Structure 1
Amino acid sequence: MRPKVKICGLQKPVDAQYVNDAGADYTGFVFYEKSKRNVSCQKAKKIMEKIRPDIKKVAVTVSPDAAQIQILQQMKFDIIQMHGTLSAEALSAVELPVWYAINLSDPKEFAEKTKDFLDLPEKLQQKITALVVDGANYGGGQTFDWQKTQTFHQTEGIFAGRKFVLAGGLHAGNVNKGIQLFHPDVVDVSSGVENENGKDEALIKQFVACVKEEAKERKER
């Protein structure tokens, strides 16, 4: 079974048509003022209206508070993705599945980066349905050290019963290698399907096609 594909950082109404035509499984909208892919709630709503109903919509946040969570839930997102501080306040306000994102450069950082999660009450931990393992800098378009870290997710109990989302520096040229190393449930791409003007239709289609082709070849082997 192939990994699902998330196209993150949508900013324009035309981006919705790109992900629809390519056959993506998830789309991501960034709500973080310091990001070049930041969108307003109003702009996000206009794009979301054009996305096929079967494509899940993910609100990407950084250290959100309860007020921001409430606003995003009213917008009918399917998933809340949290980078930065994982607060009990925000998780208590969430009624949707949560994807917890970890920015990683070295496997030694993994225990430290997941400490916030492990300190949470079990009831709040259960709200987290997936872990997104990203590169060192959020939105930086760089992979973490794949060779050093290719086994960390196999031994950590934090992944038990949760999806593994591979992110950070993915593009059509390396996504198949990432799939072969990590066997993720979802591959998450943003900068790897962009040109100087934003999302690129051809690059999105190429990325999704590569993921589907790798799955086909694996099935035939």
Structure 2
Amino acid sequence: MKIKVCGLTDPANIAEVAQLGVDYLGFIFYSKSKRYCTLHKEIIPSTLSKRVGVFVNASLDEVQSDIQRCQLDAIQLHGEESQSYIFSLREQNKEVEIIKAISVSDESSIRQAHQYTTCADYLLFDTASHLRGGSGKKFDWTLLDKYQGDLPFFISGGIEVEDAPVLQSWNHPLLYGIDLNSRFETRPGIKDINLLNTFIKTLYHE
């Protein structure tokens, strides 16, 4: 199972998180977020972790610029991006992974995920919130029993240390990764390395 740590803002903290061996490092390029990232590729450390840029209804030119500026390996789309929008990004960036976030409030939210089957690589199910992520709140995970699509998915939204045993034993065949953010912070944008380390060791029975 993959681990993505999102909402990183500080170079020294990013380096510490990367040393934990996480699979994805997430940087939020949405100016209304408390975790808005202003770092350039020269500051973001080069690691084995994949770099993910998180965008909310950004223009294609803006996303393209940040992909190049920060040498992103993946992009996460957290707004109302259309299929045609995602296909345009795919055409320009064939080697970049595309993660489409789905804001979950009820069963109908799960059904809308199917429209992205042909254009995204992964889905990310997050708690519906006006904050566009980082709310610290969980949605009803049993709703994902209704998801029978083709795309693997990340689960996000209020995940904390105590959830590690539950996630470790969860056997949904398309669960690909876990997205960690606000419940692992000392303040917005700064991650608690001890909490992350405890979660990872519990998840992998280390």
Q: How far 1:152 moved relative to its partner?
A: 1.7
State how 1:1-221 maps to structure 2 within 5 Å: 3-40=1-38, 43-48=39-44, 50-52=45-47, 54-74=48-68, 75-87=70-82, 88-94=84-90, 95=93, 96-111=96-111, 113-114=112-113, 118=115, 126-137=118-129, 138-147=133-142, 149-153=143-147, 155=148, 157=149, 160=150, 162-181=151-170, 183=172, 184-196=175-187, 198-213=190-205
Q: How far 1:90 moved relative to its partner?
A: 5.0
Describe the shift of the 1:51–1:202 C-alpha distance in structure 2 as closer, same or farther (beyond 3 A).
farther
- Paired AA for residue 65 in structure 2: I
Q: Is the 8 A contact 2:86 2:120 kept in 1?
A: no
Describe the shift of the 1:180–1:12 C-alpha distance in structure 2 as closer, same or farther (beyond 3 A).
same
- Distance in 1 between residues matched to 2:65 and 2:171, nearest whole Å: 34
Q: Unaligned 5+ residue runs, structure 1?
A: 217-221
Q: Is the 8 A contact 1:150 1:182 kept in 2?
A: no
- Distance in 2 between residues matched to 1:97 and 1:127, nearest whole Å: 10
Describe the shift of the 1:212–1:44 C-alpha distance in structure 2 as closer, same or farther (beyond 3 A).
farther
- Distance in 1 between residues matched to 2:160 and 2:134, nearest whole Å: 13
Describe the shift of the 1:126–1:89 C-alpha distance in structure 2 as closer, same or farther (beyond 3 A).
same
Q: Is the 8 A contact 1:7 1:24 kept in 2?
A: yes
- Distance in 1 between residues matched to 2:169 and 2:138, nearest whole Å: 15
Percent sequence identity over aligned pairs: 29
Describe the shift of the 1:128–1:200 C-alpha distance in structure 2 as closer, same or farther (beyond 3 A).
same
The 3-state SS of whatever aligns with 2:19 is helix
- Distance in 2 between residues matched to 1:8 and 1:84, nearest whole Å: 16
- Distance in 2 between residues matched to 1:131 and 1:89, nearest whole Å: 16
Q: Is the 8 A contact 1:61 1:81 kept in 2?
A: yes
- Distance in 2 between residues matched to 1:93 and 1:150, nearest whole Å: 27
| Matched residues, number | 194
- When normalised by structure 2's length, the TM-score is 0.85
Q: How far 1:44 moved relative to its partner?
A: 4.2
Q: How far 1:18 moved relative to its partner?
A: 1.8
Deviations 1:106-148 (A, max 9, x none): 223322x43xx62x7xxxx53410000011222201111123x
Q: How far 1:9 moved relative to its partner?
A: 0.6
Q: How far 1:45 moved relative to its partner?
A: 2.3
Q: How far 1:182 moved relative to its partner?
A: 5.2
The 3-state SS of whatever aligns with 1:207 is helix
- When normalised by structure 1's length, the TM-score is 0.79
- Distance in 2 between residues matched to 1:90 and 1:164, nearest whole Å: 17
Q: How far 1:19 moved relative to its partner?
A: 1.6
